[in-house]
Structure 1
Amino acid sequence: MLNYAKSGESYWVELDISPVTDSTGEIVRFIAVERDITQRRQVEEQLETALKEATRATRAKSEFLANMSHEIRTPMNAIMGFTELLLEKPMHAEHREQLELVHRSAGNLVAIINDILDYSKIEAGKLSLTNEAFDLQEVLESTIDLCGYQAKEKELPLVMNIAPAINTKVMGDKGRVNQILLNLIGNALKFTDSGTVTVNVEAESFLETTRFYISVEDTGIGIPAERLPYIMEKFEQVDNSATRQYEGTGLGLAICKRLIQLYGGELKVESEEGKGSCFSFSITLVNQHSKISVAANQDYPMLDEKLIPEVLRNKKILIAEDSYVNRLLIEKMLNDAPVELVFAEDGEQAVALYCQHVPDMVITDISMPNKDGYEATADIRTLQEQGYPWCPIIALSAHAMTEERERSFASGMNDHLSKPISKDLLIKMIFKWLSLSEENEKKQGAKFKY
C-alpha cells in the first residue's frame, strides 16, 4: 500500500497483519509488521521499463530486418532470375563466365541476408525447428556435391568418411542440418589453399534415437590461439583486419553453434595456426519408425518433362505482382510452359481478375498496393465459399521470416516461395499443386480443399 510520512512524503509499504485471540477465540488485537519497500518498487519499475524498452527494441529490429530483407530480395529476384535465363542460352565462353560470376555473387549476397535474419531470429528466441523424414547420408552427399565446385576451383580433395552400417534415416530439420554442414565445409574450403578437407561421420544408435558425431578437418590457415576462444561469437572472424582476405559476415559459426545447441549438442574447435582446424559437433536425431507416405513427402527435383506438359497444358495461372520487373521475369521463366498467364498489378486487380478468369492457380506477392496478398487471398477464399471453384494459392514473397510463412498459411495460402526464386523451383511448385489438384479432382469429381 502507499503510505505517507508526517512530512507528506509518500512511500510504499508491505504489510503482514496477524490476529491475536484470547482463550475463547475472540480477536483482541492485531499485530502488523510493516516493511518499507519503496526502493524495491523503484527497482521493479525500472526493470519493467527496461524490459518493455528491450522488447520494443527487439520488435523494431526484427521489423527493420524483415523490411530490409524484403527490399533487398525483390531486386535480387530479378538479378538472379534473369542471369539464370540468360545462362540457358548459347554465348561466348567469356560472357558465360562473367554471368556465372554475377549469379554466384548474387547468391552469396542472399546467403548473407539469410545469416543476418537467422541470427536475429535466434536472439529473439523465434527460431523453431521443423520435423521431417530425411536421410542424413543423402544430405551429407548433397552438401559435398554442392561444395565440390569450390573444392575443384582450388584443386582441393574433399573427402567424406562415414562409418559403415549406421542408421541415417532420421527425423529432424533437414534444412537446418544442411545449413550447419554447408557452413562448416564451406569455411574449411574457404580457409584452405592446399592439402585436403575431410568430413568424418560416426554414430551411436539407440532404440528411439541416433547420436551422430561429425567433424570437418582442414589443412588451412588455422586460427591464432588468442582468437580461438572467441571464434564462435557473433561477428568474429579468423581475420578481422581492415585488409582481410576472406569475405563473410562472421555469423556463420555463431548460427551453427546455436542450431547445434537446439539439438542438445555442442560445437567444438581444435586448431593450430598455419596447420589447420577441426570443427566437431554431435546431434541427436529421432529414428524413422514408420514408412513415410510418398505422397506427403513427394520430392520434385527429378521430374519427367513429358509429364510436366500433360499436367500444365491449358491451365490458367493468375500472377499478382506489383513489380513490373518481376512480372516480366515470371513471364520469361514460364515462356516455354503450356500455360496461360493472367497478370494483376495489385491485390484489388487480382480479386477482380480471379472472378473474371477463374484460374487453376493463383501466385501472389505479399506486399502490394491497395490490397496486399493476405487480403486478396482472404477475398478469393470467401468467393470460393460462395460457389467459385477451389484452386491452390501460392505466396511468392520477398518476406522470408518464419512468421511471414505462418501468416501466409493462416490467411488461406497453400505454399510459400521466397524470393529470389529459380525457374526450376517455380515450375516444380506449379507442377506440384496442379498435379495434386488434378488428382483429387478426378477422385472427388470436384475441386478440393487441400
Structure 2
Amino acid sequence: MGSDEDKGVSRRRYNRAVAARAEAEKLLDEKSRALFEANEALREHQSALEDTVRERTADLQAALQKAQMASEVRARFIATMSHEIRTPLGGLMGIVDLLHMEESDPKKQELLSFAKTSGTALKTIVNDVLDFSKMEAGAFQFKTEQVDIRSLATGVAALARYSADETEREIEVEIGDDVPQRFYGDATRIRQVISNLVSNAVRYSTDGLISVRARMIEVDDAPWLRVEVEDFGVGIAADKRDDLFKDFSQVSNELSDQAQGTGLGLAISRRIIEGANGHIGVDSELGVGSTFWFEIPIEEVPHAPLSDPTTTAEVDNAEDIVRGARVLLAEDNTINQTLLMRFLKKMGVVATLAENGQVAVDLFRPGAFDLILMDVAMPVMDGLQAIRHIRDAHPPDQVPPISLLTAHVMETVADDAIAVGVEHVLSKPIAFDDLRLGIASLMTGRKVHSLSLSAPQAGSHVPVMDLMSEDISAGLAASLSGAEIEELAAQFVTDAESLWADVMKHSDDAASRGNCKAPAHALKGAAGLLGFATVSEHAAMVEESCAFLDAEDFDVIGGMIASELDRIRATLPSGASA
C-alpha cells in the first residue's frame, strides 16, 4: 500500500485530468457551436448568393434579348434603308443618263455631266455607309460558294475600264496558272474588295497601267490566295500608311480633292478580309505608285470524276453509229435549239425537241430514244430535276444514256451530275464534230476516233464570222452554209436584246436582282455558242455578280453589250432573219 503522500499525488493528478477533460469538452462544445453557426451563416450567404446569381442571370438574359432585338431591328432598318435609298438614287441617275443622251445643248449636257458625276459620288458614299452600318450591326454576313477568280477579276476590270471618267484606262488582269479554277469563298465580298482596290487605283492615278494579279502562296503549309492591285500613281508616304485602313480615314495628297469618298472603302475591305481570316496591306513609294494586296486561305473545289465525251478517241464508224439515232434534246434557248437541231439533222439523227425539263419528262417513253441530251438551266423544270423524274419513274435498264449540256465549267456541275447518275457532260459551246463524237461515244460506251468522221461541206465565209472566235467560226463554216450562219446571227441579236431586257427588269430593285442570273446565263450560253466572246464575257459578269451590281453598273454593261450587238447587226444583210 502506498503512503498518504502517494495517495495525495494520485488524487491531484486525477482532479487535473478531470478538469482538463471538462475544459476540453467545454472547448469542443464551443467550437462545435461556432462551427454550426458558421455553417448556418454560410448556408444563408449561399442562399442569398444563389438568389443574387439568379437575379443577375435573369437581368443579363433580359439585357441580351433586348440587345438581340435591337440588333435585329437595326439590321431590318439598314436593309430597308439600303433598298429605300439605293432604288430612288438609281432611278435618279438613270433619268440623268436619259436626259444627257437626248439633250443637244452643249451647256445643258455639261450640267447633266456634273449631275451624273455628283450622283456617282453620292452612290459610292451611300454604298460605303450602308455596308459599314451593316458591319456595325452584325448584319454583314459571309456565305460559302464557288468562286471563279478569273471571271470575277475580269469583270471588275471591265467595269472600271469603262467607268473611269468615261475614258478607257489600261487595266490588265494576270491570274497565275497555279490558282484553282474554282475555290470556296464569298464571291460577292471578294469582288467588293478587288473593286475597292481597283477603284482607288483609278482615282489616285491620272494615267498609266493598273495591274490586277493573283497567285498562290503557302502560309503554315496551307494554300492561300494572294491578290495584288498595282498602280503608278501618287504613292503614299510611309508615315501615312497606318491610317489607310482606319474608319473614315483618307490620306491627303494632290488628288484627294478630286477623289471624293467617305474614307470607308479600305476600312470595309479590311473588315471583309479579316472576316475571311486573311490579311490586307499596302506597299507604296511616294511619287512612284502603290501595290495594295490581300491574302486569304482558300479550299479548292475538288474535281469530280466526270468524263467529257468531246475529248475521246479510238473506235471507227462513228458516222454509222450516229446516223438514225433517236435523240431527245431538252434545250430552252432558241439559238441553242436552232443550232443543235440543225447539227443533229445533218448527222442523220432523228431529234425530238423539248423546250424545258417538264416537256422532256412528258415526251419520254421507254424504248423511244437512244440518247437524251439534257440542258441544265431551263425554266419550269431544270435538267437535273427532269433526270430525277425520269429515273424515278422507270427501271434503270429502260433509261438510255444521258448527257448534260452546260455552259458552266464542268467542275461546277460535277456533284449535281453524279447525284442524278450522269457521268458525261458536253460543255457549251459544242462544235459539230464534238457533238457527233459525244453522241457516238455515249451510245457505244467506247471512245470514238475523230478521223473517221467526215465533216459536212464547208459553208462560205460571211462578214459576221469575222466577229466570232476563230475556233467557233471554223466549226460553223464546216457544218452550215453562209446564209444559215447569218440567219443564226440575226436570231441571236434579237434574242440577246430580249434577254438583256429581262435582265434590266430586275436591275433597279436590289431585292430581286438575283432574278437577273437566269437570263444572263442564257445570254452567256447563246453568245458563247456562236463565238461572240465579248457579249458572252459581259453576260458572265452579270451572272456571276448580279447581286452585287447596282443600277449604274447594269447601264454600263448594257451599253457595252448594245454596242457589240450593233456591230454584229451591221455585218448582216437586210434580209437575214431567224
Does structure 2 retain, via aligned residues, the 8 Å contact 1:66–1:401?
no
Partner of 1:21: none
In structure 1, the residue corresponding to 2:92 is in which secondary structure? Answer: helix
Residue 307 of structure 1 pairs with residue 307 of structure 2: no
Partner of 1:321: none
For 1:119 and 1:96, the matched residues in 2 are separated by: 34
Note closer, same or farther for the CA distance 1:54–1:205 as it changes in structure 2 (3 Å cut).
same
Partner of 1:252: 265
Partner of 1:14: none
Note closer, same or farther for the CA distance 1:298–1:172 as it changes in structure 2 (3 Å cut).
farther
Alignment map for 1:158-169 (pairs within 5 Å): 158-164=171-177, 166-169=179-182
* Percentage of matched positions with identical amino acids: 29
Partner of 2:284: 271
CA offset digits 1:139-164 (Å, max 9, x no partner): 11221222213568688643433323
For 2:557 and 2:172, the matched residues in 1 are separated by: 29
> Which structure: greater strand fraction?
1
For 1:60 and 1:240, the matched residues in 2 are separated by: 40
For 1:425 and 1:161, the matched residues in 2 are separated by: 22
For 2:497 and 2:166, the matched residues in 1 are separated by: 38
Partner of 1:378: none
Alignment map for 1:395-414 (pairs within 5 Å): 397=509
- Shift in Å at residue 182 of structure 1? 0.8
For 2:302 and 2:253, the matched residues in 1 are separated by: 47
Q: Which moved more, 1:87-96 or 1:105-114?
A: 87-96
- Shift in Å at residue 99 of structure 1? 4.5
For 2:499 and 2:165, the matched residues in 1 are separated by: 39
User: What is the letter of the counterpart of residue 128 of structure 2?
Assistant: D
CA offset digits 1:213-261 (Å, max 9, x no partner): 11122233333444322321111111399x9443101111111111112
Partner of 1:31: 39
CA offset digits 1:155-191 (Å, max 9, x no partner): 8643433323532333432222111111001112211
Name the TM-score, length of structure 2 as normaliser: 0.42
In structure 2, the residue corresponding to 1:214 is in which secondary structure? Answer: strand
CA offset digits 1:58-95 (Å, max 9, x no partner): 55654554454344334323213334445666856776
Name the TM-score, length of structure 1 as normaliser: 0.52
In structure 2, the residue corresponding to 1:127 is in which secondary structure? Answer: coil
Does structure 1 retain, via aligned residues, the 8 Å contact 2:159–2:556?
no
- Shift in Å at residue 282 of structure 1? 1.1
Note closer, same or farther for the CA distance 1:395–1:231 as it changes in structure 2 (3 Å cut).
closer
Does structure 1 retain, via aligned residues, the 8 Å contact 2:510–2:547?
no
> Which structure: greater helix fraction?
2
Partner of 1:201: 214
User: What is the letter of the counterpart of residue 265 of structure 1?
Assistant: G
- For structure 2, the 5+ residue unaligned runs are 1-35, 307-374, 383-405, 409-488, 515-545, 559-578
For 1:213 and 1:249, the matched residues in 2 are separated by: 26
Residue 186 of structure 1 pairs with residue 199 of structure 2: yes
Partner of 2:19: none
Does structure 2 retain, via aligned residues, the 8 Å contact 1:167–1:205?
no
Does structure 2 retain, via aligned residues, the 8 Å contact 1:400–1:418?
no
Alignment map for 1:77-96 (pairs within 5 Å): 77-86=90-99, 91=104
CA offset digits 1:374-411 (Å, max 9, x no partner): xxxxxxxxxxxxxxxxxxxx897566999xxxxxxxxx
Residue 233 of structure 1 pairs with residue 246 of structure 2: yes
Note closer, same or farther for the CA distance 1:204–1:188 as it changes in structure 2 (3 Å cut).
same
User: What is the letter of the counterpart of residue 191 of structure 2?
Assistant: N
User: What is the letter of the counterpart of residue 306 of structure 1?
Assistant: T
For 1:423 and 1:151, the matched residues in 2 are separated by: 14
Partner of 2:187: 174
CA offset digits 1:102-138 (Å, max 9, x no partner): 4454344233222222222222222222344342112
Residue 217 of structure 1 pairs with residue 225 of structure 2: no
Does structure 2 retain, via aligned residues, the 8 Å contact 1:87–1:100?
yes
Q: Which moved more, 1:78-87 or 1:56-65?
A: 56-65
Task: Tell me the C-alpha RMSD between the 2 structures.
Answer: 5.0
- Shift in Å at residue 420 of structure 1? 4.8
User: What is the letter of the counterpart of residue 270 of structure 1?
Assistant: D
- Shift in Å at residue 267 of structure 1? 0.6
In structure 1, the residue corresponding to 2:190 is in which secondary structure? Answer: helix
Does structure 2 retain, via aligned residues, the 8 Å contact 1:213–1:282?
yes
Partner of 2:131: 118
For 1:213 and 1:134, the matched residues in 2 are separated by: 14
For 2:106 and 2:376, the matched residues in 1 are separated by: 42
Does structure 2 retain, via aligned residues, the 8 Å contact 1:395–1:417?
no
CA offset digits 1:270-319 (Å, max 9, x no partner): 334434322111123332335798517989xx99453378899xxxxxxx
Note closer, same or farther for the CA distance 1:397–1:418 as it changes in structure 2 (3 Å cut).
farther
For 1:417 and 1:199, the matched residues in 2 are separated by: 20
In structure 1, the residue corresponding to 2:146 is in which secondary structure? Answer: strand
Residue 143 of structure 1 pairs with residue 331 of structure 2: no
Q: Which moved more, 1:220-229 or 1:113-122?
A: 220-229
User: What is the letter of the counterpart of residue 495 of structure 2?
Assistant: L
Note closer, same or farther for the CA distance 1:96–1:172 as it changes in structure 2 (3 Å cut).
farther
Does structure 1 retain, via aligned residues, the 8 Å contact 2:175–2:215?
yes
